[in-house]
């Protein structure tokens, strides 16, 4: 049974008990009122009977016409009171009919007495008749009084019985309400609070990673439904996590393969190139004098190509290493890194004069080794592409853009057409001929990978002949 | 230029690389005898006078071992481990000369007691220069540990 159904049932029971009690009280009230009215009527009857006795005695003592008249009135009133008495029980009805009969008899005897007086009959016989009459009257009236008292007792009894019944019904009703409330509390504890505690415990278990925790609740109420949904959710979560676990393992395996591949590339791919270069040079050295210019040029081309492929392999391995290496985030001084790279570039190229404008105090949170590689590539790029400018200037600084801090490396070199900007960061993508500017086309791909590994982005702005600026931002901006 | 008795053991499986290394030594005017082992097992046989090299008993150990890492049968790092585990070759100078500059190779090489780690450049001119510097340093400038003979 559902909890809501049980709740409705308990509420209905309690309400029914209350209605029952109210009904009983109302019925008892009516009963008592009715009994009281009857009692008042019987008291009225008693008073009438007493009055009738007084009037009868008065007439017998004084023989006044007024007393006779009074007896008639009282008698009529009594008749009306008896007629109005609506006792329904058989015994009461019997008593009432007795009363009616005696009253009629008593009135008839009184009338006979009055008639005898009016006829002025023989005083002796009148006296005898009178004595006979009065004793009969007295007995009748005495009996009537006793009947009236009996009726009063009936009413009193009825009042008492009604009151007793009301007490019983109220007690029973209260007991029923108490039972309903207690039962309800027990049901709430058994069907709601205890299962909720179980559910709470289960939530904790699952949250702490125990996927095998099952509620296995069998009840078919709302909590049972919730528990089954919870179990289903746990199962689906478990499946999802198992899937993720599998994917992770596959990824780890794949990573291992890439690692093995890089290792193999690093060891095995360069050997043949070394042979090509080495034996070409051996030919040139040993037989150079016997070769014509074209043959020597061919051998030089073989050497150049071998060396270029060697650089490509190294750069590709560098690109792959950037992806595999684990990040060690620390506050890094970008200005210092840029300054060191600039100095080293200047040292290697003493013939060229480039103006380096590096803003001081640029700090950010990053992996220092990777950031160094990125800056090396960006600054060497800037240096390379500013090689044909008369007064080359390379700037390193930071700007605020859309509420984020962006770092930039800007040069006033050859720049490029923004139409090709989307190809800029792809591996092996070049926007210039190699004869103009040397390079493998991997440098910016490495830079982008490093920035992305920091959760950042990189973009470029350039104009042909006016230079290029590379802006980058990292996820962690505060150093 | 150098003491002709100072032998070099070149452990290298690639015939081209052997030829180029020998050529580089020649072009650097290093006239020391060079023994070549084609795999890791042969290298250990040579050093400990076993198998095909049993006749080397009592012959002097090489002054320098030039060791490639990727070798058939037994790889360079295992050879190095075996060398360092044996009292006779524990102190023998070993230069790793290989294609890779993978971090894991550098770390393992030095951890196992390599004395030097040189990467073979593709450009043969650079290769000759590297071999020259290497030979001059290890055969002429460096003081070798006290000599021991093979068993």
Q: What confidence score (pLDDT) does residue A86 get? A: 66
CB contacts of A279 in chain B (<8 Å) are 16, 20
Q: What is the CA radius of gyration of chain A?
A: 61
Q: Which pair of structure tokens corresponds to residue A165?
A: 């019944």
Q: How far apart are CA A266 and CA A263, in angstroms?
A: 5
Instruction: Provide the H-helix boundaries in A63-89.
Output: 65-84
Say which residues have a Cβ less than 8 Å from residue A442's Cβ, sequence separation at least 6: A312, A315, A316, A318, A319, A427, A428
Highest mean pLDDT among A60-74, A142-156, A323-337: A323-337
Top-confidence residue, A191 or B82: B82
Taking 90 as the threshold, does the pLDDT of residue B109 lie above it?
yes
Domains, chain B, in order of start with CATH, read 8-141 (3.40.50.2300)
**DSSP 8-state assignment for residue B120:** P
- CB contact (8 A) between residue B99 and residue A270: yes
Give tens-digit pLDDT for A401-432.
888 889 999 999 888 888 888 788 877 677 77
Q: How far apart are CA A62 and CA A69, in angstroms?
A: 13
A367 Cα distance to chain centroid: 43
Average pLDDT score, chain A? 84
DSSP string computed for A395-437: EEEEEEETTEEEEEEEE-S----GGGGGGTTSTT--SS-TTTS
CB contacts of B69 in chain A (<8 Å) are 267
Q: Which pair of structure tokens corresponds to residue A411?
A: 């040069």
| Nearest chain B residue to A317, by CA | B102
Give tens-digit pLDDT for B66-103.
999 988 888 899 999 999 999 888 899 999 999 887 78
How many percent of chain B have pLDDT more than 70?
94
Q: What confidence score (pLDDT) does residue A380 get? A: 92
The torsion angles phi and psi of A399, rounded to 5 degrees, stand at -135, 165
Mean pLDDT for the stretch of residues A173-196: 85
Query: Dihedral through CA B131, CA B133, CA B135, CA B141, nearest 10?
Result: -170
Q: How far apart are CA B42 and CA B52, in angstroms?
A: 8
The beta-carbon neighbor of A266 closest among B17, B102, B123 is B102
CB contacts of B16 in chain A (<8 Å) are 271-272, 274-275, 278-279
β-sheet with B34-37: strand ranges across: B34-37, B8-11, B64-67, B94-98, B116-119
Say which residues have a Cβ less than 8 Å from residue A19's Cβ, sequence separation at least 6: none
- CB contact (8 A) between residue A266 and residue B101: yes
Q: Which pair of structure tokens corresponds to residue A298?
A: 């061919």
Distance, in angstroms, between B67 CA and closest chain A CA? Answer: 14
- CB contact (8 A) between residue A263 and residue B102: yes
CB contacts of B23 in chain A (<8 Å) are 278, 282
CB contacts of A275 in chain B (<8 Å) are 16-17, 20
Mean pLDDT for the stretch of residues B104-115: 92
Tell me which residue of A445, A423, A443, A450 sits closest to A311, measured CA to CA: A443
CB of A340 closer than 8 Å to CB of A356: no
- CB contact (8 A) between residue B101 and residue A263: no
The beta-carbon neighbor of A274 closest among B17, B70, B100 is B17
Q: What are the beta bridge partners of residue B10? A: B36, B66
Mean pLDDT for the stretch of residues A185-204: 86
Residues in chain B: 151
Q: What are the beta bridge partners of residue A367? A: A329
CB of A85 closer than 8 Å to CB of A100: no
Q: How far apart are CA A437 and CA A413, in angstroms?
A: 12
CA within 13 Å, CB half, A248: 6
The reply to whether B107 touches chain A by the CB within 8 Å rule is no
Top-confidence residue, B120 or A17: B120
CB contacts of A370 in chain B (<8 Å) are none
| Nearest chain A residue to B70, by CA | A267
Distance, in angstroms, between B66 CA and closest chain A CA? Answer: 16
Task: Tell me which residues of chain A have a C-beta less than 8 Å from any C-beta of chain B.
Answer: 262-263, 266-268, 270-275, 277-282, 303, 306-307, 309-310, 321
Highest mean pLDDT among A105-109, A187-191, A276-280, A313-317: A276-280
- CB contact (8 A) between residue A273 and residue B14: no
Mean pLDDT for the stretch of residues A362-391: 90
Name the 3-class secondary structure at A469: strand
Give tens-digit pLDDT for A348-376.
888 888 899 999 999 999 999 999 999 99
The reply to whether B101 touches chain A by the CB within 8 Å rule is yes
Q: Which residue has the tokens 């750069």?
A: A315
Q: How far apart are CA A334 and CA A328, in angstroms?
A: 16
CB of A201 closer than 8 Å to CB of A234: no
Taking 70 as the threshold, does the pLDDT of residue A337 lie above it?
yes
Distance, in angstroms, between A315 CA and closest chain B CA? Answer: 12
Q: How far apart are CA A447 and CA A457, in angstroms?
A: 10
Q: Which pair of structure tokens corresponds to residue B29?
A: 């005017």
Distance, in angstroms, between A446 CA and closest chain B CA? Answer: 17
Domains, chain A, in order of start with CATH, read 3-188 (1.20.120.1730), 211-324 (1.10.287), 325-473 (3.30.565.10)
Q: Which pair of structure tokens corresponds to residue B80?
A: 């190095």
Top-confidence residue, A452 or A141: A452
Q: Which pair of structure tokens corresponds to residue A288?
A: 């150079």
The reply to whether B108 touches chain A by the CB within 8 Å rule is no
Q: What confidence score (pLDDT) does residue A478 get? A: 47
Q: What confidence score (pLDDT) does residue B151 get? A: 52
Q: What confidence score (pLDDT) does residue A90 get? A: 79
Q: Residue A179 burial (CB < 10 Å; 0-12/13-18/19+)?
A: middle
- CB contact (8 A) between residue B20 and residue A262: no
Instruction: Provide the H-helix boundaries in A188-292.
Output: 194-207, 222-264, 270-287
Distance, in angstroms, between A246 CA and closest chain B CA? Answer: 27
Taking 50 as the threshold, does the pLDDT of residue A79 lie above it?
yes
Average pLDDT score, chain B? 87
Q: Which pair of structure tokens corresponds to residue A354?
A: 């480039």
Q: How far apart are CA B83 and CA B67, in angstroms?
A: 12
- CB contact (8 A) between residue B70 and residue A268: yes
CB contacts of B123 in chain A (<8 Å) are 277, 303, 307, 310
Sign of the torsion formed by the C-alpha atoms of A234, A236, A239 and A243: negative
Q: What confidence score (pLDDT) does residue A410 get? A: 93
Tell me which residue of A319, A479, A336, A471 sits closest to A406, measured CA to CA: A471
Q: How far apart are CA A476 and CA A364, in angstroms?
A: 7
| Nearest chain B residue to A265, by CA | B100
Residues within 8 A of A (CB atoms), B 26-65 only: none
| Nearest chain A residue to B98, by CA | A267
Mean pLDDT for the stretch of residues A271-295: 91
Q: How far apart are CA A101 and CA A104, in angstroms?
A: 5
Q: How far apart are CA B112 and CA B83, in angstroms?
A: 10
Mean pLDDT for the stretch of residues A396-402: 90
Highest mean pLDDT among A57-66, A312-321, B38-47: B38-47
Q: What confidence score (pLDDT) does residue B103 get? A: 81
């Amino acid at each position: 049974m559902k909890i809501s159904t049980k709740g409705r049932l308990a509420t209905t029971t309690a309400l029914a008990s209350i209605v029952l009690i109210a009904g009983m009280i109302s019925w008892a009230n009516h009963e008592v009122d009715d009994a009281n009215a009857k009692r008042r009527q019987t008291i009225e009857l008693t008073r009438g009977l007493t009055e009738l006795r007084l009037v009868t005695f008065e007439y017998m003592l004084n023989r006044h016409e007024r007393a006779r008249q009074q007896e008639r009135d009282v008698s009529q009133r009594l008749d009306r009171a008896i007629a109005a008495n609506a006792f329904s029980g058989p015994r009461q009805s019997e008593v009432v009919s007795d009363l009616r009969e005696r009253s009629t008899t008593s009135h008839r005897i009184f009338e006979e007495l009055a008639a005898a007086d009016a006829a002025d009959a023989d005083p002796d016989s009148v006296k005898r008749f009178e004595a006979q009459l009065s004793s009969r009257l007295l007995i009748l009236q005495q009996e009537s009084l006793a009947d009236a008292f009996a009726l009063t007792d009936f009413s009193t009894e009825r009042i008492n019985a009604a009151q007793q019944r009301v007490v019983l019904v109220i007690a029973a009703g209260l007991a029923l309400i108490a039972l309903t409330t207690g039962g309800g509390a027990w049901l709430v504890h058994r069907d709601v609070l205890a299962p909720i505690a179980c559910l709470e415990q289960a939530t904790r278990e699952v949250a702490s990673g125990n996927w095998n925790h099952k509620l296995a609740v069998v009840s078919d109420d709302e909590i049972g439904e919730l528990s089954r949904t919870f179990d289903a959710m746990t199962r689906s979560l478990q499946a999802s996590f198992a899937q993720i676990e599998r994917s992770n393992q596959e990824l780890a395996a794949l990573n291992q393969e890439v690692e093995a591949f890089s290792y193999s590339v690093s060891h095995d791919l360069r050997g043949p190139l070394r042979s090509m270069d080495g034996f070409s040079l051996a030919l040139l050295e040993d037989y150079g004098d016997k070769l014509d210019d074209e043959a020597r040029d061919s051998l030089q081309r073989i050497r150049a190509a071998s060396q270029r492929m060697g650089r490509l392999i190294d750069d590709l391995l560098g690109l792959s290493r950037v992806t595999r290496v684990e990040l060690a985030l620390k506050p890094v001084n970008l200005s210092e890194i840029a300054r060191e790279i600039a100095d080293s570039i200047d040292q290697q190229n003493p013939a060229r004069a480039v103006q380096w404008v590096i803003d001081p105090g640029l700090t950010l949170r990053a992996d220092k080794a990777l950031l160094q590689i990125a800056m090396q590539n960006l600054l060497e790029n800037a240096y390379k592409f500013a090689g044909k400018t008369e007064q080359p200037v390379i700037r390193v600084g930071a700007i605020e853009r859309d509420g984020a801090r962006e770092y930039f490396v800007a040069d006033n070199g050859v720049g490029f057409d923004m139409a090709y900007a989307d190809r800029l960061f792809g591996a092996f993508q070049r926007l210039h001929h190699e004869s103009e500017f040397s390079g493998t086309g991997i440098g910016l791909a490495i830079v982008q990978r490093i920035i992305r590994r920091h959760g950042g982005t990189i973009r470029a702005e350039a104009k042909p002949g006016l230079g290029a600026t590379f802006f980058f931002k990292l996820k962690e901006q505060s150093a | 230029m150098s003491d002709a008795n100072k032998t070099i053991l070149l452990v290298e499986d690639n015939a081209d690389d052997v030829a180029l290394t020998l050529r580089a030594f020649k072009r650097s005017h290093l006239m020391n005898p060079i023994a070549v082992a084609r795999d890791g097992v042969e290298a250990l046989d040579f050093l400990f006078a076993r198998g095909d090299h049993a006749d080397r008993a009592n012959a002097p150990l090489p002054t320098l071992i030039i060791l490639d890492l990727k070798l058939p049968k037994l790889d360079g790092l295992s050879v190095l481990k075996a060398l360092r585990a044996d009292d006779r070759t524990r102190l023998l100078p070993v230069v790793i000369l290989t294609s890779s500059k993978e971090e894991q190779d550098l770390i393992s090489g030095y951890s196992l007691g390599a004395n030097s780690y040189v990467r073979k450049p593709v450009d043969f001119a650079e290769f000759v220069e590297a071999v020259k510097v290497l030979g001059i340093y290890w055969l002429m400038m460096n003081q070798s540990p006290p000599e021991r003979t093979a068993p």
